[in-house]
């Protein structure tokens, strides 16, 4: 699992939504004040080196697309969190979030129902 910085994740969220994008497309998706083109281009190159983006030359510009969809990334990310912080234990991970979120009785019942259905 390749760890992404907050800004890298912001850029990836845009690319996942657009499916394919040029640097200018990515910059335009940011709210004001938008980051500088060169800043985004640098981060996109880092993401390409990390293997989460791939590029294709279209005319004289690179068009970027994700190497995996968001669902696959989320799965990989959550698996790494489970391994890193919860000794690779799903029950420990679920217990942590259940305690932290202060689940209502109906939410607890729903969680139990989901677990039993698997």
Locate tokens 């697309």: which residue?
A: 65
Percent of the chain with pLDDT strictly greater than 90: 67
- Longest distance between any two alpha carbons in the chain, whole Å: 58
Q: What are phi and psi of 31, to 5 degrees?
A: -70, 165
Q: Is the pLDDT of residue 34 over 80?
A: yes
**Rg for the chain (alpha carbons), in Å?**
19
Higher pLDDT, 81 or 99: 81
CB 86 within 8 A of CB 92: yes
Q: Is the pLDDT of residue 15 over 80?
A: yes
- Taking the C-alpha atoms of residue 98 and residue 108, their distance in angstroms, rounded to an integer, is 8
Complete domains list, the chain, with CATH: 6-66 (1.10.10.10), 88-118 (no CATH)
Q: What is the pTM of this model?
A: 0.78
């Amino acid at each position: 699992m390749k760890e992404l910085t907050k800004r890298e994740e912001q850029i990836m969220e845009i690319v996942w939504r657009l499916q394919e994008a040029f640097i200018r497309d990515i910059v335009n998706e940011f709210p004001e004040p938008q980051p500088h083109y060169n800043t985004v281009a640098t981060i996109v190159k880092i993401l390409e080196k990390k293997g989460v983006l791939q590029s294709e030359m279209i005319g004289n510009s690179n068009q970027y697309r994700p190497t995996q969809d968001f669902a696959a990334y989320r799965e990989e990310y959550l698996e790494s969190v489970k391994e890193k912080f919860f000794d690779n234990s799903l029950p420990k991970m679920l217990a942590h979030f259940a305690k932290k979120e202060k689940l209502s009785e109906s939410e607890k019942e729903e969680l139990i129902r989901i677990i039993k259905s698997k």
